[in-house]
Structure formats: C-alpha cells, structure tokens
Amino acid sequence: MTQLDLSRDEASILDWVEARADHMIDTVKTWARINSGSRNREGLEAMRKVLGQAFAETGAMITAQELHSSQTVENNGEIKDIHYTPAMRVSQRPEAPIRIVLTGHHDTVFPVESHFQDLDQWDADTLNGPGVADMKGGILVMLHGLLALERSPWAKQIGYDVLISPDEEIGSLGSGPILAELGARADIGMTYEPALADGSLAGARKGSGNFSLRVRGKAAHAGREHHLGRNAIVAAAAFAQELDNLNGVKEHVTINVSRIDGGGAPNVVPDLGIARFNVRVKTEDEALWIKGELEKLVAKTNARDGITADLHGGFTRPPKPMSAANLQMFQWTRAAGEAIGLDLKWQDTGGVCEGNNLWASGCPNVDTLGVRGADIHSDREIVKLSSFAEKSKLSAVMLMKFAQGTFDAKQARALARQS
C-alpha cells in the first residue's frame, strides 16, 4: 500500500485528539483507583457506571448487556453456576453501510484484597498502576478513536457496536456468546488489549482451553483400613503426570497442570481429587489431537480400581491465525501508523484475548490497539503516557479511512469467508 495522505479535516481531528492527552491521563488515574477485579461485583458495577458516563460523549445508545452464566468445579467437587455482572454495550448507527465491532474489558486481575491498588509515576512517561494498560488505558484509546470519528465528515458511513466486558481476564465465558453474535454481523473488529512497550502488536494467537478433571475414589482410615480406600489424589496426580508427558509431542501444543485440589486430613484416604490444567494450541487440528489424547487419559483413569473420573471445561478461545484477512487488517494498521509517524511491527504470541473470539465468528480483526504497556498482570504494570494520544490517533485514522473506503472493510470480511 502506498503512503497514506491525511486531509486537512483529518489533520484537524488528530490535533483535537492530541489536545485530549492530559484528559486521558487524568481519567486513567481515576479509573485505575476503582478496583474492578473479575470477582469484585461491586467494583465492576462502579466501573461500568463511570464508563457509561464517559461513552455518553459519543451520542450512541448505551445499555447493560446481560451475560450468560457458566459453570465451574468447586474445590469440594460440586458443580457451581457462575453469574456475571452485565457488560456495557454501545450501539451507533445500526443501519450504516460499514459495520465495526470494538471490544474491551473493564475487569482486571487484581482482587479486592490485592496490595496493588494505587498509582506510582516512575518517570515523565511511565505510570505504574492496576489496569492502567490492561485495559483501562485501552478503553480510553478506543473511546477517543470513536470521538474522533464522530467529529469527522464521514461518521455516518460507519455503524459500530462496542462491548466492554467484565469477564475477559477469566476467559470471557459469559461474554463469549455476545462476542460471537457481534463478530458474526460485523465487517471487521478492533480490540484494545495493550501493545508492547515498544509498540509491537500481537500477530497470530494460539487457542486456549481450561479444564478440570474431577476424580472420585473411596475414603478409608489411613492406618486401620488403608487397603479399603481408593486414593483420588493419587489418581489425579497420575493423570496430571501423563498429561504433562504430552508436552513436546506436538511442537506448538503446551499443557500446563496448574493445581490439584481435594483431600484433607493425612489420616484419611482422600476420595476426591481435581486436576486443573490449561492447553494452548496453534491450530484446530492440534485442538482435535489433544481432545483425543484427553479422552484416552480420562478412560485410563476410569479403568483404575474403584476410581471414577469426569472431565469439565473446554476450548473457549479458538486459535487466531495470521490469515489473509487478518494480514490485511495488519497492513492497514501499519499504513495508518506510518501516516502519523509510527513504525508498527507485530509478532505471534501464545496469549489469547477477545480477538480470538471475534475471529472464530469470521470477523477479521486487530487486537492490540491499546496503549503501550508492560508487565501486565503484575504489580509492575505500566503504561507509557505518550501512547494515549499516539494510539488514539492511530484508531482515529483507521476509522476515518474505513469510513471513506480507503480501507475496504468488506474486502477483509470477504477474505475471511475464503479462509
């Protein structure tokens, strides 16, 4: 693609975005001090309220989007329904010829009891704080890209749906069906996970699944009648060891056994063991392969004397390859970056996000359009303050070019259908 030219109107709008930089920085400081850990219902609702106030500036319709419940295996072996607070949905011009879905999340990985609740300015361009990059900063970038579009002469060409979800950090099990619905009817998607500190974006992403194997045995006195017991912890551990042995069999498949729950007093043969694990795959064929291996290992566990086992969970984020459609999206992103002086690169990652969900519905997307940051999911999380205006201008250019047809969103969707 040749060098993009920016018109006088576009340049004026980008100047407006630049002028909002201090406002964005002040706002992210306020937002970061609202604890919105994925399980903190009160904090999530407080955060959704302030987001609604912020997005009202777009003039779009803002609603509470109820989410589906999901299930989890409790440490006592019981199956429990998990209910989520609503997502925030923003809808603008549903009749417009070009449809874009923009996604983000207002939950963080930091619970109410976390020690990481406040901010620290490390230097003139570096702010340390919970969620400043992942992804309260990203939400601000999204918002200002949309506000820039609304100020442009081409806004009526684009209709958009925004979903800001409360459950991304715990797998998007509640919001997943809504992401699928929105992605299926959009031409392209834009997601606001943080870029790396050097500005690099995520390319292809692996798929991810979370699983729990629930193992039942037979309790018995560990001294008087040990021979009558059937140890569920031992059976779960044997399953975990054989599962770990599958690492390296397929080049891109990784299995991480994260925890074994169950058991109790040391003088009782444990009758419950729960092995919890995550699987990452690069392709759908690899997902099918590991599913087959899991079936074999579950059957082997059930063949142990006095032991029964059942598997829960599954793949909730399919792989997102660097398909022709997604490559086209990256090329447009790079061209938009060059127009404002950015040299954008990308690299494949084993991480997952809502971009995986959008691609599964056939929606080509770029999913690291947020601020530049580093050390997310830790108390060293930072955001580069200069990236608020920088990345907001990038989204503004992309949206205006989609609206004008310079970037053909429907071409990207057509390429996705051919994948």
pLDDT at 321 over 70: yes
Other Cβ atoms less than 10 A from the Cβ of 27: the count is 19
Q: What is the pLDDT of residue 150?
A: 98
Would the CATH topology of 8-73+82-204+320-418 be identical to that of 207-317?
Answer: no
Helical ranges in 98-159 per DSSP H: 136-151
Handedness of CA 9, 10, 13, 19 (dihedral sign): negative
Q: Quick one: the chain helix, strand, coil %, rounded to 5?
A: 40, 30, 35
Residue closest to 328 by CA, chosen among 356, 302, 365: 365
Average pLDDT over residues 116-129: 98
Q: Would you give the distance in Å from CA 96 to the centre of its chain?
A: 27
Average pLDDT over residues 144-167: 98
- Tens of pLDDT, residues 340-359: 999 999 999 988 999 999 99
pLDDT at 2 over 70: no
Sorted by where each begins, the domain ranges of the chain are 8-73+82-204+320-418, 207-317
pLDDT at 1 over 70: no
Higher-pLDDT residue of 38, 419 = 38
Beta bridge partner(s), residue 123: 126
Is 3.30.70.360 the CATH classification of the domain at 207-317? Answer: yes
Q: What is the pLDDT of residue 197?
A: 81
Q: How far apart are CA 246 and CA 224, in angstroms?
A: 38
In CATH, what number does 8-73+82-204+320-418 get?
3.40.630.10
- Tens of pLDDT, residues 249-281: 999 999 999 999 999 999 999 999 999 999 999
Helical ranges in 207-282 per DSSP H: 232-244
Mean predicted lDDT score pLDDT of the chain: 97
pTM: 0.94
Other Cβ atoms less than 10 A from the Cβ of 289: the count is 16
Residue closest to 313 by CA, chosen among 353, 271, 255, 270: 255
Q: What is the pLDDT of residue 196?
A: 85
What is the DSSP code (8-state) at residue 212? E
